[in-house]
Amino acid sequence: MQIILSGLRGDDNEKEVEAELKRYFNVVSVHFVREGDPDSPWALVEVNDSYPKVWEVTNRLRGAYHRGKRLRFYVPVHQPHPFFKRCA
C-alpha cells in the first residue's frame, strides 16, 4: 500500500523518514520526489500494512509537526486490492 507524505524539509532524507515511520508502519521503501521545489520534497512511502491500519495511523499523524513544518499524509484511492493479488 502506498502513502504520499508531504511537509518534509529539503535536508530530510529517505533513511531518516523510513526510520521514523517504522515506529508506525511496516515500511517497505521510501522514495523522495524533489522536482519542483527541492526545499519541500514529498515522499512516496510503500508499506506492508492493512488498509484500516494505514487509515487509522495516517489520520492520527496528519497535522503533526516535523522540524517546524506540518506533515500531510495522503492515501491514494488507486491502491491495488489485496483480493486480486491473491488471485494472480
Q: 75: domain range?
A: 2-87
pTM of the model: 0.82
pLDDT at 88: 47
87 confidence band (pLDDT: 50, 70, 90): very low
How do residues 15-66 score in pLDDT, each as one tens digit? 999 999 999 999 999 999 998 888 889 999 999 999 899 999 999 999 899 8
Question: What's the domain count of the chain?
Answer: 1
Structure-model confidence comparison of residues 55 and 85, the more confident one = 55
Task: Identify any residues that bridge with 2 across adjacent strands, giving them in sequence order.
Answer: 46
83 confidence band (pLDDT: 50, 70, 90): low
Could you tell me if 28 and 46 are in contact, meaning their C-beta atoms sit under 8 angstroms apart? yes
Please report the sign of the dihedral spanned by the C-alpha atoms of residue 40, residue 48, residue 51, residue 16.
negative
Q: What's 53's domain CATH number?
A: 3.30.70.330
**What span, in angstroms and rounded, lies between the C-alpha atoms of 82 and 70?**
31
